[in-house]
Amino acid sequence: MTDNLDNVLLIALADGALDKFIVGEPFYFQEAKVDTQEPQNVMAAFNLVLDYWMRTKDETFPGEFAAAMFKALESYPDKNRAIYAVSDWIQHYYYCITQKKANPNGKYGELFELDTAGVAGALKHELEVNKADLITDTRWAGESWNSRQGLWEPLMREALGVRDKFEGPDFVPDNL
């Protein structure tokens, strides 16, 4: 990782804009080299997070990261984008945790512990409250090639996968 101005994570941290990095707001957006559009390339963005952690072991970072996910869910103007992005971050984090458990000496062996219980609770609430809007939102994974219920269907697959496959937090809505 470099400490130059090309590292949008470092800029987001310096600017107090980690929530904008999480949702992939322009300038903080990491482009995906795939055929489908996403609000943030969480895999590429997570590599910046992991590199930062490995280099600094900044003990305040996990808390800042969780707080930024809360902030995105609470106040980002595009509510569905925030919900979708935070869900992606949680899913990818727990994927990495399973990799850490499977190979403690591998790439994710020193990955920080992140308390996601509160964020998962907030995410579950936002999913429940915004269900109707999510069903009609056909952006990203909500496109017709992937879903018959807009963003709702892929978000439910992700929530169930985090809970059941990765043994992560339960943010499956009660109004599934």
Cα gap 79→100, rounded to integer Å? 31
Residue 133: φ, ψ to 5°: -65, -40
Confidence (pTM): 0.95
Number of domains, the chain? 1
Give residue-wise pLDDT tens across range 139-171.
Answer: 999 999 999 999 999 999 999 999 999 999 999
Identify whether 52 is part of a domain: yes
**What is the domain-level CATH number for residue 81?**
1.25.40
**In this predicted model, what pLDDT tens digit does every residue of 25-34 receive, in sequence order?**
999 998 867 6
> The domain containing residue 31 runs over which residues?
8-164
> Would residue 71 count as lying in a domain?
yes
Determine, yes or no, domain membership for 63: yes
Residue 173 lies in a domain: no
Residue 144 lies in a domain: yes
User: Nearest CA to 137 among 88, 80, 83?
Assistant: 80
